[in-house]
């Protein structure tokens, strides 16, 4: 039977050998309803202790409040492992004064609208966040990035980099500059699902030329 991607509208995209859905893995777009979170199709999150229905946003981004002034934007086909956390800008304290104590939060006259840091956190497409990775406020993670287990990501990460450590640093680039330019131009994550399924061998082989030949 020809391979096909699980329906993007499903909640649990992984089907176990006994035919039951794997409750610990969700297509994140279908598991969250949060005004400050945007998630692309086919991005999944996994957890060995999955939250109850409606709890995935709070589990992954505990400081992303409904009234926060920033957004968490996650692209398509991202892979989010157990223990990953996004620390939103709303969690940041103002460090420009003598004290970092958030006095305004405890004052009913000033608490609403108080947020010293309003930077969005943005992930590109096809990003793999390893076990326990921590993404800090305002991080910009490019397409095709691999974030090592336990890494603490801040600032900008270039497309198709492998990063690890605290703070996360580039260990290597996955492809040459020319190949990365081709991959970004192809934007395979935006292809129709049927075309992506047909391109699976090229995607799994890491063959940029073969992928280009599959472009619809």
Point out the residues that are catalytic.
Answer: 93
Report whether 113 contacts 154 (CB < 8 A): no
**Beta-sheet strands, E only, within 5-148:** 25-27, 37-39, 44-46, 72-74, 79-80, 85-86, 121-123, 128-129, 134-135, 140-141, 146-147
Q: Residue 214 and residue 208: Cα distance in Å, rounded? A: 10
Q: Residue 197 and residue 153: Cα distance in Å, rounded? A: 31
SS3 89: helix
60, containing H or E segment: helix 56-60
């Amino acid at each position: 039977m020809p391979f096909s991607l699980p329906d993007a509208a499903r909640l649990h995209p992984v089907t176990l050998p006994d035919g039951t859905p794997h409750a610990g893995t969700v297509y994140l777009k279908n598991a969250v309803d949060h005004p400050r979170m945007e998630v692309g199709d086919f991005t999944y999150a996994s957890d060995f202790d999955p939250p109850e229905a409606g709890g995935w946003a709070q589990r992954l981004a505990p400081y992303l409040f409904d009234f926060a002034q920033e957004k968490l934007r996650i692209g398509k086909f991202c892979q989010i492992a157990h223990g990953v956390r996004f620390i939103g800008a709303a969690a940041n304290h103002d460090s420009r004064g003598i004290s970092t104590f958030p006095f305004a939060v405890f004052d009913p006259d000033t608490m609403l609208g108080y947020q010293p840091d309003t930077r969005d956190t943005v992930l590109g497409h096809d990003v793999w966040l390893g076990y326990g990775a921590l993404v800090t406020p305002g991080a910009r993670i490019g397409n095709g990035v691999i974030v090592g287990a336990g890494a603490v990501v801040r600032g900008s990460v270039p497309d198709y980099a492998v990063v690890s450590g605290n703070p996360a640093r580039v260990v290597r680039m996955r492809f040459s500059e020319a190949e990365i330019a081709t991959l970004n131009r192809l934007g395979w994550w935006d292809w129709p699902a049927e075309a992506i399924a047909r391109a699976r061998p090229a995607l799994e082989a890491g063959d940029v030329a073969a992928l280009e030949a599959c472009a619809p």
